[in-house]
Chain A
Amino acid sequence: MKRNVAIVGGGQTHHAARRQDVSQPEMVNEAVLAALKDANMTMDDIDAVLLGNMEFFEGQHMTDCWLADSTGAFGKPGLKITTGGTVGATIIAAGAHHVASGLFDRVLCIGFEKQEEGDTNAILSGVAHPLFGRSMAGAAMGFFAMLGSSYMANFGATEEHSAMVAVKARQNARKNEYAHLKLNIKIEDVMNSRMLAYPIRMLDMCPASNGACAMVLADEKTAKDRCKKPVWLRAMETAHNEQFVLEWRDTSSTAPKFSDVAATRVYKKLGVKDPASYYDVFEIYEPATWAEILWYEDLHLCKKGEGFKLIEKGITEIDGSIPVNPSGGVLSTNCIGASAMLRIWEAALQIRGDAGGHQVPRDVHRALATGYGGTCWTVVTSLSDSLED
């Protein structure tokens, strides 16, 4: 990057299925105030404001205008960004570009979703090709069910393996004061939960959450002058899958895949040979259990077809050798427009040592965060406490 960029503050709301006590502007403002407080700044310190969500979910278009007061954006430069499930990470990538370019020194980034105000499944159908299979679109569960059935057939994993991911997420969420689904569940609870779309059960899927996240990004001088624990954004990569050519339905396919492509580019940029040892913690975007197992492989934490062995051996538990989603992840909290930003914010909290009850029990110097959305694209973000790596 032309100039180094740091996360110098952030904050989030308490996430929940119901937030009928606040309007969208009021909810977003909670995260904005938390981020400014954490950064020890006021809106006078902020040069630009970037905002995003999946606006059709709430039916309120031009959210940048509608929220200009509660985001603090009034009178300041800024952009609205909408890239589906990845949007929170895309906002951070765009904010980092704003700072790295030298045009802005301090940028406020905000992602939010108030899912209860609209019909998420109906709006998600608009992601499908309008003339090729849309009649069956409308819910993410069918998509992940297909990945699960293909994965089990190809690699010998079982439904118990996905249930282990479901348990890990909700048990970690119990340690995270902001998480939505804090469930004290066991594998049999997952297996006994209602079948939605074989092999996806109720507890294999993320919830529909309301919530917001906000972060302040700054240039190196601001970060060193004003922040005790800056977290540096060392690399960011985005990649798309080819639209509507569903080669990847077959999980044994070797066709280029968005997640693998983006991670490979990040590793190459930073000279990472073994990501499992290079990073101390991972925060990944897993809307369903099977997605997490596939992420293990796409991020090269294990060989293709062996992701389920990592969860089986407890390697990705909060106290395992490769902790994945100590926050509880998207499986426990999915306020979509904020979810990918929460991955980066949670990774930053781990590096700062400020994650509280879900802080992983080891020194954290580097973390990797991913977003996931649309019809398969990602933003992969690499964070560090040092500018030396």
Chain B
Amino acid sequence: MSEQTVDQEYIHVPILVDVPYRFDAGKYMTRFLVELRDNEKIYGIKCPSCKRVMIPPRIVCARCHVKCDEWVELSNEGTLEAFTIMYFPMTDPTTGKPHDPPFSYGSVKLDGCDAPIDHMLNIEPDMSKIKVGMRFRVKFRPREERRGDLADIEYFDPIE
């Protein structure tokens, strides 16, 4: 910066590029997303060696290096492990549009699973009203709105 002077001109060139992608869900995620879309069911995958039930389902257990092929239906209810209240108008990378803050967002571990799902919480964005350990239930979108995406879960509803 030492050489910069007040009247020195610098040129800055904007590059505006829109790069779309199309991901292939593959065998395991397709099955997971079809069950979610068509049957309102959430499935994890169980490792035959360490017996952990993992989500999202994957073909290989990272710890045991063995093929996972036992599908386990999970409960629609679970426990909040961590949360945040988002105040920052973050862009949703899947739509390019900003989310509408403030909103509550958290990690819910469904009963029968060893890993949580991160999703919206349908609860007032008030830090005094959200507690780690609270119970939540999955709220699915109506059938006609479901398209085979994690967003087929609309949010987690607190269990009164």
Q: A residues bordering B, Cβ < 8 Å?
A: 14, 16, 19-21, 59, 121-122, 125-126, 128-139, 141-142, 145-147, 149-150, 153-154, 194-200, 242-247, 249-251, 256
Q: For the complex formed, measure the closest distance between the CB of A358 and the CB atoms of chain B, giving whole angstroms.
A: 21
Q: Apart from A198-B87, A250-B82, A250-B116, list 10 A-B contacts with CB within 8 A.
A: A122-B93, A131-B149, A138-B93, A145-B84, A150-B82, A196-B86, A243-B62, A246-B115, A249-B81, A249-B107
**A150 and B1 form a contact (CB under 8 A):** no
Interfacial chain B residues near A147, Cβ < 8 Å: 82
A and B contact pairs by CB, cutoff 8 A, 26 listed: A14-B1, A21-B8, A59-B17, A126-B93, A131-B23, A131-B33, A131-B149, A135-B92, A135-B150, A136-B90, A136-B92, A138-B93, A139-B88, A146-B83, A146-B118, A150-B81, A153-B133, A196-B86, A197-B84, A197-B87, A198-B85, A199-B84, A199-B127, A243-B62, A244-B56, A246-B116
B118 touches A246 (CB 8 A): yes
Q: How far is the CB of B116 from chain A (nearest CB, A)?
A: 5
Q: How far is the CA of A136 from the CA of B114 in the complex (A)?
A: 21
Q: Is the CB of A135 within 8 A of B94?
A: yes
B34 interface contact, C-beta 8 A: no
Contacts of B120 in A (CB 8 A): 136
Q: Does B51 contact A (CB under 8 A)?
A: no
Report the Cα distance A247→B115, complex, angstroms.
5
Does the CB pair B91–A122 fall under 8 Å? yes
User: Is A132 a contact partner of B54 (Cβ separation < 8 A)?
Assistant: no
- A137→B93 contact, CB < 8 A: yes
Q: B106-123 interface mask toward A, CB cutoff 8 Å, 1 = contact, 0 = none?
A: 110100001111111000
Residue B131 interfacial (CB < 8 Å): yes
- 0/1 per residue, B131-143, Cβ < 8 Å to A? 1110000000000
